Structure 1
Amino acid sequence: MNATTANLAPPQWGDGTLPAPVSGQYHEFTTPVGRLAYYSANPEGGSKLPPLLLIHSINAAASAYEVKPLYEHYRQFRTVYALELPGFGHSDRSKRVYSVRIMTDAILAMLRVIQDDHGRTPIDALAVSLSSEFLARAVTEIPLAFRSAALVSPTGFTTTKNKSKDKDGTRAMPWLHAIFDFPLWSEGFFRLLSSRPSIRFFLKKTWGSDNYDRGLAEYDYITSHQPGAQHAPYYFVSGYLFSKDILRFYHALTLPVWMSHGVRGDFVDYGEKSSVEGRANWRIDIFQTGAMPHMEAEAAFIARYDEFLATVAE
């Protein structure tokens, strides 16, 4: 992994610059899974709190903008990092296979950067939606590097017939990916998928209402119209990034875990969360929101997260 480079301007793409999704310093570094981009910020006067890593969700227009409220809040009190996963934001969007392993390795590469900055201090990490699965895998691989894990609207807890935590592999559908990625219509279909009406439609489904974040909608449109924007999302919608055995990794977590989710929209089936409810290291909070409670109910979300962090042993 090459040394991190800080204070760069985000790369010029398309007809102009993809705006920074959050404040602070822009960084990029080269890893075995490609060039990764992230933002960081430190509070004035420093902080004795461990670093906080924030990881956006996976969708057709994902970016660090999805964790902006948390980043901007916590940068006042502690060092924060917002990683952009492979295929999204300012990170490498090249045409290749996007897999669970690539996403997990990106988090581990980001962890090593944080350790270069702060030593071996265990960090707090928060991931949204499907990225919760990648974070859980990363934690099980290097458990001593993490102090706590926060899973916001995590996937993998949906009630499914014949579901087994012991099944290996992913839910990949190669035939579906082949259809999406067929050269004659690959880019054209993605432009339709990432049009402003489509983005508004999917955000309404995510929020469960028309009260979605307008700034996020605008940023989603811009980031999804950069070169190569379709590559990672096509692997996402074709099931390559969903693990069949993710419950096994959730169950293996021994550090303090905070799970939170909403009750509106398309993402409300958490029937399998009963398998972790009652565990001493798990806390679950429910918000009267859609799948982005940290954006829709920012103050309440931060208050609950702070309560959880206050219980985490140093």
Structure 2
Amino acid sequence: MPAPTRRDRSEPRTGLAAKLALLPLGAAGAWIAYSRFGIDHRRPLHPALPGRHECLETPAGGIGLYGSTAAPGVPLLLIHSVNAVANAYEIRPLYRHYAGSRPVYALDLPGFGFSERSDRVYTPRLMTDAIHAVVAEIRHRHGGGRIDALALSLSCEYLAAAALEAPGDYRSLGLLSPTGFDARFVGRHRDRTRHGGAVARAMLNTPLWGEPLFDLLVSRPSMRFFLEKTWGSSDIDEGLLAYDHASAHRPGARHAPFSFLSGALFPDAPGHLYEALPLPVWMIHGVRGDFVDYRYAGRVAGRPNWVVDVLPTGAFPHFEDLPAVTRHYDAFLAEFGG
């Protein structure tokens, strides 16, 4: 039998290399098929909070609104954060704590929870407009007086913008683990919706791979990984994880998160917003985890209208130490809430 030629020897290796090169494509195709036919994207979702639950029709679209209004007093509006799986469950401990002592409201921001999840570019302007609409409705229901509002994480920047545009709507602001005190504090103002944010979102949200890509992002292992980064430990709230997973598997769930991931939901130079606030402002944050960069907090900490508290927790301190959070907040309101 004649010896194989050099070409004969190379052909098996070339064939193997070609097969190996096709493996990622095969895996991607399999995941796309599994996402389409094997994952339920219409899972039932129960209300995240007790009390009245309704949908407000606003210029920002349909907004899911929770309310517990049996007790008298100055209304308190609670605003959840913005991330890939955000919803009103994130402020559940605070809502339940204050529900018996004053009127308490909480909304699902556009694109999250029970609010409209249509395919559009989600922007800081849209989020701020949603806050304006909800605050106007709350004030109308309670005689037109000013309210207290407390936001979590990135939503603190939207609340600050809303308060600057309508300072007469608010008695005080609460900022729980606010973003924007890192390098973005002094960043140059730039409209991300005009500089790549919309393009990046469109690339993520294509019909072929948008849903499968989001399904990878919101798998239980992935969600647990990011919550542990938020907590700075593995001792996360399992109820939040379960609700986030259900909320992320509803029709349209990927649209707002893809705007978030593309950068379109981050205001630039948030320090300009924070430093301009004339209202009493309470800020509290933790020191553990991946979201505790507060290098510019000193720019507001010494101001007479600001109170800054720090706890030895992660970025969701109200889940870890609710008594400490509410004690600090109540002390702030006792001093500035007149």
TM-score (norm 2): 0.85
Letter aligned with residue 220 of structure 1:
D
What are the superposed Cα offsets for residues 172-198 of structure 1, whole Å, 9 maximum, x if unpaired? 534432331122210001001001101
Could you tell me which residue of structure 2 aligns to residue 253 of structure 1?
277
The aligned residue for residue 186 of structure 2 is: 164
Pairwise CA RMSD: 1.6
1:197 aligns with 2:197: no
Structure-1 separation of matches of 2:225 and 2:199: 26
TM-score (normalised: structure 1):
0.91
Cα distance in 2, alignment partners of residues 173 and 28 from structure 1:
29
Instruction: State whether structure 2 residue 266 is matched by structure 1 residue 239.
Output: no
- Give SS of 2:301's match: coil
Task: Work out whether 1:230 is the aligned partner of 2:254.
Answer: yes
Q: Deviations over 1:262-305 (max 9, x none)?
A: 11111011111111120000011111111001111111111111
Asked if the contact 2:42/2:249 (under 8 Å) is kept, the reply is no
Change (3 A) 1:190 1:166: closer
For residue 59 of structure 2, what is the aligned residue in structure 1?
A: 32
Using the TM superposition, give the Cα deviation of residue 120 of structure 1 relative to its aligned residue in structure 2, in angstroms. 1.8
Q: Distance in 1 between matches of 2:330 and 2:262?
A: 36
How far apart, in 1, do the equivalents of 2:43 and 2:105 lie? 25
**Aligned residue runs from structure 1 range 242-281, under 5 A:** 242-281=266-305
Bigger mean CA deviation after superposition, 220-229 or 240-249: 240-249
Alpha-carbon offset, residue 165 of structure 1: 5.5
Q: How many residues align?
A: 297
**1:108 corresponds to 2:132:** yes
**1:210-249 CA distance string (max 9 Å, x none):** 0110000000100000000000000001111111121111
Counterparts of residues 1-314 of structure 1 (less than 5 Å): 15-43=42-70, 46-47=71-72, 49-159=73-183, 164=186, 167-170=189-192, 173-314=197-338
Structure-2 change in CA distance of 1:166 and 1:105 (3 Å): same
Looking at structure 2, the residues matched to 310 and 32 of structure 1 have their Cα atoms a distance apart, in angstroms, of 35
Q: Secondary structure at the residue paired with 2:183?
A: coil
Is the 1:99–1:240 contact (alpha carbons within 8 Å) kept by the matching residues of 2? yes
Cα offsets for 1:4-63 (capped at 9, x unmatched): xxxxxxxxx9545311101001011111111111100024xx32x210000000011111
Quote the offset at 1:168 in angstroms.
4.0
236-245 vs 69-78, which moves further:
236-245
Q: 2:81 corresponds to which letter in structure 1?
A: S
- Residue identity opposite 1:164 in structure 2: V
The alpha carbon displacement at 1:169 in A equals 2.6
CA contact (8 A) 1:172 1:241 kept: no
Give 3-state SS (helix, strand or coil) of 1:39's partner: strand
In the TM superposition, residue 166 of structure 1 has moved relative to its aligned partner by: 5.8
The answer to whether the 8 A contact 1:172-1:242 is kept is no
Q: Which residue of 2 aligns with 1:5?
A: none
More helix by share: 2
SS at match of 1:271: coil
CA distance in 2, matches of 1:15, 1:59: 20
Computing the radius of gyration from Cα coordinates, the structure with the larger value is 2
Gaps spanning 5+ residues in structure 1: where?
A: 1-12
CA contact 1:159–1:270 (8 Å) conserved in 2: no
Q: Give me the whole-angstrom Cα distance separating, in 2, the residues matched to 1:147 and 1:185.
A: 46
Distance between the aligned counterparts of 2:188 and 2:41, measured in 1? 44
> Which whole-Å CA distance do the structure 1 matches of 2:121 and 2:54 have between them?
24
Q: Percent identity?
A: 49
- 8 A Cα contact 1:125 1:146, kept in partner: yes
Q: Distance in 2 between matches of 1:241 and 1:176?
A: 12
